[in-house]
């Protein structure tokens, strides 16, 4: 069948559109090659989807700095081999532009090592900083300096950090300096290798605050690593004692600022961990801490608006958080969350464990009620109309979870009921945060990631490239364009 006049004109319009887009991107590439973004920030909120951002804004009553940017994009996240991505494949997509399989770090599915934007920046003579609130060898930061087929090969990743030549690593610690984990052949102590490579290793807060450009390459991590080598949850952080993500970011800007520019990746890694555990307050407060780190970059951007690019995104949503719950219908009450004073992790490690030890042999839920009221604000007596009052059906859920917690039932991952209800976490703590979150009008569908698209925002030189809808691999390519690097996949040297 011959094409109609209408079809012909549609295809001509399409061709013209394609030519226009190509001409536009070629012109953009040329313009950035002449005048690239000199200072490039990529902020990754791990597990930070649109619900996490909206919950934080509803709780704090103000817009996040990262959402005040002029350019907004929608970013899809599927991996090469799975619809729902993990942090390794997501970070590899964003660091290299390469779509890959879950678990892989800086590699294509066929195990080809792919060069990262951080490595490209270094080759251009820019300084490079990698900052994270979780261990600095965790999947997201690792995907900017390491190339391994599994994110779990921490020992090799730690050695890759030592030989990266990057200028600033900061936030959490390293997980396997000695090579003690399964599946690795020890290659010598990685912390020694880091020091031998010329890094000044700093954990003391006062010493950290005094660091200056004369100190050379730096690896700084907080003295208290709460879980798996990570910074404490922002809500558990001890003011004046722990170094915040914003302070690590501000110090990075100080140390990296130079005439050839810099690239800095900053990850808010525990938004994700809080969402895995379905603890909305911990996720919200870590999103606030992440936003405060973004604000440090904005302060720098204001001094160099024509040369600075700031991109903020999430690597995937986590927990299937949603803003609305069957039990509260159209109502929301975010003030409920103000009564929670510690994260689920702090409650598990520092409160519940102690309670179980002290009450060994005569563990009764009634004895724990005042502690739950103290840390989470849930009321077991008084006004039944108080939003914090634990209704009879909620009390039954808590008592049931308490029995399972005492029996250690969280470990029963082969029991589908237990998996759906508690996701492998302590049954009592998950039930407490679920009840509290539900009272706020928040709910969860998963203890894992979801494939819900995330939001990407940008400001500064090259920000316009980040409007529209695209897969997260495009983030790396857009940053390459803005940095004046040819946006295609490079094979890494080592």
Q: Which is nearer to Zn ion, 273 or 347 (CB)?
A: 273
Q: Which stretch binds Zn ion (CB under 5 A): 18-26, 255-263, 264-272, 374-382?
A: 264-272
CA distance 398 to 429: 9
Query: Which residue ranges make up the annotated binding site for Mg(2+)?
Result: 46, 138, 140, 267
138 vs 461, which CB is nearer to Zn ion?
138
Q: Which is nearer to Zn ion, 332 or 446 (CB)?
A: 446
Nearest residue relative to Zn ion (C-beta): 272
Q: Which of residues 345-404 bind Zn ion (CB under 5 A)?
A: none
Which part of the chain contacts Zn ion (CB under 5 A), choosing from 266-274, 320-328, 427-435, 452-460? 266-274
Query: How many residues make contact with Zn ion (CB under 5 A)?
Result: 1
Residue 267 engages Zn ion in binding (rule: CB under 5 A): no
149 touches Zn ion by CB under 5 A: no
Angle at 58 between CA 435 and CA 423, to 5 degrees: 35
- Smallest distance, Å, CB 447 to Zn ion? 10
Of 4, 68, 87, 448, which one is the catalytic site residue? 87
Residues 6+ apart with CB under 8 A from 434: 278, 444
φ/ψ of residue 450, rounded to 5: -130, 170
Closest to Zn ion by CB, 225 or 271: 271
312's torsion region: left (phi>0), alpha (psi -120 to 50) or beta?
beta
The answer to whether residue 87 is catalytic is yes
Cβ 390 vs Cβ 435: under 8 Å: yes
Cβ 350 to Zn ion shortest distance, Å: 23
Closest contact distance (angstroms) between CB of 272 and Zn ion is: 4
> Interacting stretch for Zn ion, rule CB under 5 A, among 75-83, 185-193, 268-276, 463-471?
268-276
Find, among 118, 143, 115, the residue nearest to 46 by Cα: 143
Dist. CA 145–CA 157, nearest whole Å: 8
Residues at the binding site are 46, 138, 140, 267, 272, 276, 315-316, 449
Q: Look at strands 442-443 and 322-323 and give their pairing.
A: antiparallel
Per CB under 5 A, the segment of 115-123, 167-175, 272-280, 359-367 that binds Zn ion is 272-280
**Contact set for Zn ion, span 85-114 (CB under 5 A):** none
Among 158, 167, 227, 272, binds Zn ion (CB under 5 A): 272
Residue closer to Zn ion, measured from CB, 119 or 272: 272
Binding site for Zn ion (CB under 5 A): 272
Which residues are marked as active site? Answer: 87
């Amino acid at each position: 069948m011959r094409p109609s006049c209408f079809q012909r004109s549609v295809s001509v319009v399409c061709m013209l559109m394609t030519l226009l887009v190509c001409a536009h991107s070629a012109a953009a590439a040329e313009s950035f090659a002449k005048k690239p973004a000199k200072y490039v920030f990529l902020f990754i909120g791990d597990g930070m989807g649109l619900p996490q951002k909206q919950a934080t804004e509803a709780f704090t009553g103000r817009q996040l700095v990262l959402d005040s940017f002029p350019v907004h994009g929608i970013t899809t996240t599927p991996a090469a081999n799975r619809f729902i991505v993990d942090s390794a494949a997501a970070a590899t997509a964003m660091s290299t532009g390469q779509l890959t399989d879950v678990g892989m770090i800086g590699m294509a599915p066929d195990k080809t090592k792919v060069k990262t934007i951080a490595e490209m920046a270094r080759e251009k003579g820019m300084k490079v900083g990698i900052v994270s609130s979780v261990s600095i060898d965790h999947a997201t930061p690792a995907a900017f300096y390491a190339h391994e087929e599994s994110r779990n090969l921490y020992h090799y990743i730690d050695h890759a950090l030592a030989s990266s030549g990057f200028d600033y690593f900061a936030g959490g610690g390293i997980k396997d300096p000695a090579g003690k984990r399964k599946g690795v052949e020890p290659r010598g102590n990685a912390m020694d290798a880091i020091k031998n490579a010329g890094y000044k290793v700093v954990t003391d807060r006062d010493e950290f605050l005094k660091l200056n450009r004369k100190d050379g390459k730096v690896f700084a991590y907080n003295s208290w690593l709460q879980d798996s080598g990570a910074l404490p949850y922002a809500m558990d952080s001890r003011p004046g004692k722990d170094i915040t993500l914003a302070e690590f970011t501000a110090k990075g800007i100080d140390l990296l600022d130079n005439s050839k520019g810099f690239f800095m990746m900053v990850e808010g890694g525990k938004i994700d961990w809080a969402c895995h555990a379905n603890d909305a307050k911990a996720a919200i407060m870590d999103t606030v801490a992440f936003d405060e780190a973004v604000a440090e970059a904005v302060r720098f951007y204001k001094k160099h608006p024509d040369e600075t690019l700031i991109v903020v995104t999430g690597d995937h949503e986590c927990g299937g958080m949603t803003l609305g719950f069957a039990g509260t219908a159209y109502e929301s009450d975010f003030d409920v969350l103000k009564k929670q004073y510690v994260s689920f992790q702090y409650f598990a490690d520092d409160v519940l464990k102690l309670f179980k030890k002290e009450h060994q042999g005569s563990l009764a839920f009634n004895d724990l009620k005042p502690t739950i009221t103290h840390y989470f604000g849930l009321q077991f007596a008084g006004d039944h109309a108080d939003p914090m009052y634990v209704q009879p059906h909620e009390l039954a859920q808590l008592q049931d979870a308490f029995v399972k917690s005492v029996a250690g039932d969280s470990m029963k991952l082969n029991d589908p009921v237990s998996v759906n209800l508690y996701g492998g976490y302590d049954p009592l703590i998950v039930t407490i945060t679920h009840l509290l979150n539900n009272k706020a009008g928040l709910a969860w569908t998963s203890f894992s990631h979801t494939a819900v698209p995330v939001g990407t925002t940008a400001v500064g030189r090259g920000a316009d490239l980040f409007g529209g809808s695209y897969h997260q691999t495009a983030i790396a390519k857009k940053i390459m364009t803005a940095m004046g690097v040819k946006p295609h996949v490079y094979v890494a040297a080592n």
